[in-house]
Amino acid sequence: MEGLLEEVKEFEPRIIELRRRVHQHPELAYHEVETGRLVANVLKSLGVEVRTGVGGTGVLGVLKGTSPGRVVALRADMDALPVEEMVNLPFKSKVKGVMHACGHDSHVSMLLGAAMLLSKRRRDLRGTVKFLFQPAEEHGGRGGAKPMIEDGVMEDPRVDYVFGLHISNRVKSGAFGLRGGAAMAAPDAFKITVIGRGGHGSAPHETVDPIFVAAQVIVALQGISSRMIDPVKPFVISVCSIHSGTKSNIIPDEAVLEGTIRTLDEATRRKAVAKVREVAETVARAFGASCDIEFIEDPYPITFNDVRVTREVAEVLRKIDGMKVVEMDPILGGEDFSRFLQKAPGTFYYLGTRNKTKGCVYPNHSSKFKVDEDVLKYGSVSLASLALEFARR
């Protein structure tokens, strides 16, 4: 690890340039073709073995050390969000309605920076490092981690440790955020279709009004968190959209509700899903309606960081001059990096980018999200450090 901070200065302009290039040309989930091509070309220029088309549009890079050791995987996600950028930067998104509002452009550039450092330090590297450039983290359904795993990225050779890094405006620049155990939630998405009987708005008694019933369902669902789930268990249920009707004097036949459940342990998750079904069906039936309830298939698991490994990661990161390590509270957002953690021990950690003087204060997914580019070199050094350290264990 010694000297990495000095060495990264050579690559810092390139890391920033790559981040800006990806930022200008964002691509949505499963469409990261140009981003993947850029990644592959950079890796090849560093002498890294490259496989493209992994899990769809993903890229796998493999760097073998000069002596036997462990296999360490490092992951960066590549997809952007359907958000119109509202920040006037010289490298503002050139794609209308699409923006890297979650920092995945930074993740790509930081992992490429780590590859630059490790390829230069190949003589010091034991074992093997796998660079996982993943598509479709923002998809929320099948995602991109699962297709990459199905394509064998965690095998041949089998991964011993896996690490992921995420930019966060919850943490101030100059700090890494870590948490052992349950760090991010399982995001279960649901769709409830309330089925009534339509008619004229002047004669509601001749109908079964699905909008009225849907309103009762929404109110009743909030009773799950306040009265049916242990209050010391982190849990959120939100109905985020309701669609119904076509005209002011027509009571429609259906109303559709869509929302999300967020939990940090499997028992609470199972109970919450069951209660959503029970409450929605019971309320609808009480008013003469019925409902169809769908949950997204195979949602992202809880992101569970190996406690021992996370503690050891903190020790490594504390050695990076100019940086500190802070303990994070759990986050009820979801992450399909959780799927990699089901295949190998590791941790998902954060790099702070909150900097008021630079206007980096808006949260991830905001149209005004900005990244403090001065921290990118620390992200690259942290990933390279973890690879060097854990590969020799």
Domain boundaries, the chain: 4-183+302-391, 186-295
The CA-based angle 141-143-145, given to 5 degrees, is 140
Range list of β-strands (E), the chain? 49-54, 58-64, 67-77, 126-134, 161-172, 175-178, 181-184, 186-195, 199-200, 235-244, 250-251, 254-263, 290-295, 303-305, 324-327, 346-354
CA distances, 336 to each of 13, 38, 187, 233, 249 (Å) = 30, 23, 10, 22, 45
Note the pLDDT of residue 297: 87
HSE-CB for 59 with a 13 A CA cutoff: 27
**Dist CA 93 CA 120 (whole Å):** 32
Helix 104-120 with 4-24: angle, nearest 10 deg: 140
- Tens digit of pLDDT per residue, the chain (393 long)? 679 999 999 999 999 999 999 999 999 999 999 999 999 999 999 999 999 999 999 999 999 999 999 999 999 999 999 999 999 999 999 999 999 999 999 999 999 999 999 999 999 999 999 999 999 999 988 899 999 999 999 999 999 999 999 999 999 999 999 999 999 999 999 999 999 999 999 999 999 999 999 999 999 999 998 889 888 888 999 999 999 999 999 999 999 999 999 999 999 999 999 999 999 999 999 999 999 999 988 899 999 999 999 999 999 999 999 999 999 999 999 999 999 999 999 999 999 999 999 999 999 999 999 999 999 999 999 999 999 999 998
What's 306's DSSP letter? -
Which CB contacts under 8 angstroms, 24+ apart, belong to 269-276? Answer: 269/186, 269/188, 269/302, 271/228, 271/229, 272/188, 272/224, 272/229, 272/235, 272/237, 273/188, 275/224, 275/228, 275/229, 276/190, 276/192, 276/221, 276/224, 276/237
Residues assigned a catalytic role: 300, 373
Range 186-295: architecture per CATH = 2-Layer Sandwich (3.30)
Structure-token pair, residue 294 = 């769908």
Note the pLDDT of residue 1: 65
Q: 10 Å Cβ neighbour count for 330?
A: 16
Q: Which of 350, 343, 303, 102 is nearest to 186 (CA)?
A: 303
Note the pLDDT of residue 274: 96
What homologous superfamily is domain 4-183+302-391 in, according to CATH? Zn peptidases (3.40.630.10)
